[in-house]
Amino acid sequence: MQTRLALITPGPTPIPPQVEAALAEPLLHHRSPDFRALLTETLERLRGAFATDGEVLMFAGSGTTGMESAVCNLLSAGDRVVVATAGNFGERWVRICRAYGLDVEVVEHAWGEKLDPRRVAAVCDGARAVFVTHSETSTGVVHDVRALSEAVAASGALLVVDAVSSLGGVELATDAWGIDVVVAGSQKALMTPPGLAFAAVSERAWKAAAGARLPRFSLDWAAAREAQRAGNTAFTPPVTLVAGLRAALRLIDEHGMPAIWAHNRRMALAVREGVKALGLGLFSPDDESSAMVTAVRMPAGVDGQRVHATLRDRHGIVLAGGQGPLRGKIMRIGHMGWMSDFDMITALAGLELALIEHGHRPPSPGAGAARAIELFAKTAA
């Protein structure tokens, strides 16, 4: 009997019971005072989560929807833009920009590398916008967007950051770091089911949007801002998901962001050390910059896709496999959102059991879980 499915992935992440309860509340009409109050509180708390005094816009959609909104609201056909890539989600910026007919200069890094601010800054002159990823979920690397922002500043190009999988899980100070646009989604560190996208927009970005000629309608930022200022949305919003998000943001505000970041760093450290104790290598950096997801190298001759299936079908544990060139080669463990120390121990124990079934033996039984427990005992929760 499979009793419980453990979702220990970099998103969707588990939903806290308070959020589940809010999701199950009776449906509100989206043009009602009750919804207006719900939306207003949610947007105010989102500003806190983005660390911005500016507008945070909300759209129905996936994280990619938020990314696309930045491209079509900021630019005109033929504009020169720079995209820095080091994995699947960096490459998504390239695909979106090309779909919109932009002149794209790609600063390509190998999957797993950290974006190099000097390489990016070297090609920014004359670019209208620079697109980067905060947490590159495909590799486990959290890029240093603060350094990227400083490096790009002199060029005058707008800096647009994909924080879909990082917002709320690791520090990101939109205003203080001088980032023009930050996009995010509901289903990662924000602990809500997928279906909502966000864009935090700076004054400089609003000016650019006013002159941008790429076509857009349901993703039009100005229409969204006008509606939101009246406590409304431009089009029918996913009402239940907004109710869930408010509950999640209340939880986040109760704990405080710094405590959540510390919790994630602590879980990440235990996973890294546990993985090494299992005799496995890390693909993601062996430091705090892999704060959201740890990418574990599969032992030689072991197919990660098969390990992934064993974990899911035999042990009820959902981790994430590798994407693109990393398919079958790595396994990714999420440590963000509503996850606990014991989820990390479960992930390490499950990984050990599944690898044994695929012929890889750890140095000693339970070595990964034991190392994690040792670390958790040393660092107060």
Assess contact for 296 and 331: CB atoms under 8 A. yes
Between residues 32 and 364, which has the closer beta carbon with respect to its own copies?
32
Give the H/E segment covering residue 334.
Answer: strand 330-334
| Rounded Cα distance, 363 and 105, in Å | 47
Instruction: Please tell me whether residue 65 binds its own copies under the rule CB under 8 A.
Output: yes
- Considering only 36, 41, 60, 305, the residue that binds its own copies (CB under 8 A) is 60
Between residues 3 and 258, which has the closer beta carbon with respect to its own copies?
3
The number of residues that bind its own copies (CB under 8 A) is: 51
Instruction: Please tell me whether residue 315 binds its own copies under the rule CB under 8 A.
Output: no
Q: Are strands 135-136 and 141-142 parallel, antiparallel or unpaired?
A: antiparallel
- Name the nearest CA neighbour of 128 among 147, 151, 104: 104
CA distance to 274, 277, 370, per residue, from 374 (Å): 10, 12, 6
Stretch that binds its own copies, among 25-33, 50-58, 176-184, 362-370 (CB under 8 A): 25-33
What secondary structure, in 3-state letters, does 214-236 show? CCCCCCCHHHHHHHHHCCCCCCC
Between residues 119 and 314, which has the closer beta carbon with respect to its own copies?
314
- Considering only 238, 274, 322, 362, the residue that binds its own copies (CB under 8 A) is 238
CB of 50 to its own copies, least distance (A): 20
Between residues 220 and 343, which has the closer beta carbon with respect to its own copies?
220
What are the backbone angles phi and psi of residue 35, rounded to the nearest 5°?
A: -70, -35
Between residues 188 and 371, which has the closer beta carbon with respect to its own copies?
188
Instruction: Please tell me whether residue 212 binds its own copies under the rule CB under 8 A.
Output: no
Instruction: Please tell me whether residue 231 binds its own copies under the rule CB under 8 A.
Output: no
H helices present in the chain, as ranges: 17-23, 33-50, 63-74, 88-99, 117-121, 145-153, 203-211, 221-229, 239-255, 257-277, 304-315, 341-357, 367-378
- Considering only 1, 2, 3, 26, the residue that binds its own copies (CB under 8 A) is 26
Burial class (CB in 10 A: 0-12, 13-18, 19+), 175: middle
Instruction: Please tell me whether residue 187 binds its own copies under the rule CB under 8 A.
Output: yes
Instruction: Please tell me whether residue 11 binds its own copies under the rule CB under 8 A.
Output: yes
Residues that bind its own copies (CB under 8 A): 5, 7, 9, 11-12, 14-15, 20, 23-24, 26-27, 29-32, 60-65, 68, 71-72, 95-96, 99-101, 185, 187, 193-195, 214-218, 220, 235-241, 312, 318, 320
